[in-house]
Amino acid sequence: MTHKDDNFIHQVVVTAESIKPLLAGKPPPVQGAVLAELTALWITHHFVEGDDDEQRELWEYLFQMHMSKVRELIEVQRQSA
Task: Give the pLDDT confidence of 10-40 residue by residue, as tens digits.
Answer: 999 999 999 999 999 999 999 999 999 999 9
**DSSP per-residue codes, 45-74:** T---TT-HHHHHHHHHHHHHHHHHHHHHHH
Q: Which amino acid is at 39?
A: T
Instruction: Kindly report each contact of residues 47-55 with a partner whose C-beta sits within 8 Å and lies 24 or more positions away, as own/partner.
Output: none
Task: Give the pLDDT confidence of 34-63 residue by residue, as tens digits.
Answer: 999 999 999 999 999 999 999 999 999 999
pLDDT at 15 (0 to 100): 97
CB-based contact 18:10 (threshold 8 Å): no
